[in-house]
Amino acid sequence: MRIFVPRETRPGERRVPVVPAGAKRLAQLGAEVEVEANAGAAIGAADADYTAAGAAISRDRRQSLCAADLVLRLNKPPVEEIPLLKKGAIHVSHLDPFNERALIEALARAGVSAIAMELIPRTTLAQQMDALSSQANLAGYVAVIMAAARLNRILPMMMTPAGMITPARVFVIGAGVAGLQAIATAKRLGARVEAFDTRPVVEDQVKSLGARFVKLDLGETGQTRNGYARALTSEQIQRQRDAMAKHCAEADIVITTAQVFGRKAPLIVTTGMVKGMRPGSVVVDLAAETGGNVECVRAGEEVDVQGVRVLGFTNLAGYAPVNASQVYSSNVGSLVEHFWDRERKTFNVNREDEIIRGCLVTHAGEIVNEIVRNAGSK
């Protein structure tokens, strides 16, 4: 089986889908691994590093896409490259399937078996393949570092001959993977941390990291069977905003991480709440790319709202490209390894498997993922 790793072409993208160690892992399965020239340059991985790992270097992207049995990417493919893929080829990457209907339909028409990394089920067995969690973990870390670099004061308490410096206050909204890492990072830097989540079940996790869990009475809330927060009603969202205004006003840093998978991010922090914060404070919205939790956020930008810096940078994991590439490469490597037929030396698209059922979007000319198919029919 021929595996091809093309160079990422998304503007500003510094992550790569497969690092040299990942290429070696794939080659050891018996696959013929081909990596596009300069694919690893953004993280300092030279072509020679890939050849030493057992991969061949391709200098003809078009030809390699046409010949590949399995294509491994990080970001969704350019629509114009889909017709180059041969019928029956397997394509693995993020696909944003709920917002990229034309892309999904093009993959189906091409007869490609498309696997969406963001649809990997959140199960114990699939944990090593969970790219959403691995990237969110780094995003949570980067969010705190970005905020700390822009804050007009230090985070830890400090005893000095001139007196005591009190710790900065950090308020994290959403205690999923990104939120928990943000909490842990802020605590390691010495901040006083509070956190809120609509799922009461995460209270113990928040407390175990040394943060205070903020309890708000919103009525019935909870999480989906995949561990995502359930969408709140408009009334619950308003009650949440009203209660959070005080916590935001007291915070030096507010980090929002709330997202509802496959839907626009919920608006949690209003412009009025941002204006109620002290000048010099910082807000980081990790959901900026999907609409934002903060009313005045601008995706990809940093804006000033009466002295409060609001950061809406996207692809935060990409600000730590070496580590983000390492963990993503491990995710796709685990996926390939798990479904690798060692006798035939090929990737087995086993549609009876729970993991494949969850992440396979198109196959044999059809959109086979029921959730994605139904979303497109609404």
From CA 251, how far away is CA 269, in angstroms rounded?
13
Joined together, the tokens standing for residue 244 give 């959070």
From CA 182, how far away is CA 92, in angstroms rounded?
29
Which sequence positions are flagged as catalytic?
122, 127, 130, 133, 228
DSSP at 165: E
Would you say 26 and 336 are in contact if contact means Cβ atoms under 8 Å apart?
Answer: yes
Reference 170, options 284, 254, 286, 274; nearest CA is 254
Q: Would you list the DSSP string of 277-319? A: SPTT-EEEETTGGGT-SBTT--TT-EEEETTEEEE--S-GGGG
Strands 308-311 and 302-305: antiparallel
Alpha helices (H) along the chain: 20-27, 47-52, 61-67, 101-109, 131-150, 177-188, 203-208, 234-250, 271-275, 321-338, 354-359, 370-377
Strand partners, 342: none
Joined together, the tokens standing for residue 44 give 């300092």
Would you say 117 and 364 are in contact if contact means Cβ atoms under 8 Å apart?
Answer: no
Would you say 284 and 253 are in contact if contact means Cβ atoms under 8 Å apart?
Answer: yes
- The gap from C-alpha 348 to its chain's centroid, in whole angstroms, comes to 26
Would you say 283 and 311 are in contact if contact means Cβ atoms under 8 Å apart?
Answer: yes
Tokens 């001139």 sit at which residue? 162
Would you say 295 and 265 are in contact if contact means Cβ atoms under 8 Å apart?
Answer: no
Reference 274, options 283, 265, 266; nearest CA is 283
228: exposed, middle or buried (Cβ count in 10 Å: 0-12, 13-18, 19+):
middle
Would you say 19 and 326 are in contact if contact means Cβ atoms under 8 Å apart?
Answer: yes
